[in-house]
Structure 1
């Protein structure tokens, strides 16, 4: 399973509106999935709606095209919460 934590406006895809609740979506792992594939399965447009993506706690500028592994954890932030990260 892939654990996807959604932040800001993207929380709606987990059916969460209360910012005090975690917004987590679980996607079954399948070989060959990329981060962008996982986001599309949730209903998120990875190019238009997403700014920053963390994989297992590490920021990855090229995350959208990265293959995903079973038990990976994604942190996904919307465009209106873009951040500078070095």
Structure 2
């Protein structure tokens, strides 16, 4: 059995919201919300809001936004299997 630990994780909350969470304290670092037009808006304190066309791009934007607001050189992020395949 493997015990993998990551710095962050992407958590889907229903069909239209995802959070990128800090695994140490559960704090929300960034959020992605689907708009009424089907696009995704990714936001975080200290960063400009980014709008993308699909869930896969939203997951990428979540991780890039976390890097931008947290600084540093990199973080590990767990993304649930199959999440980017969801509409």
TM-score interval, normalised by the smaller of the two chains:
0.3 to 0.5
Structure having the higher Rg: 2
What's the TM-score, normalizing by structure 1? 0.34
Report the TM-score when normalising by structure 2: 0.33
Return the structure number with greater relative CO, CA threshold 8 A, min gap 6: 1
| Larger strand share, 1 or 2 | 2
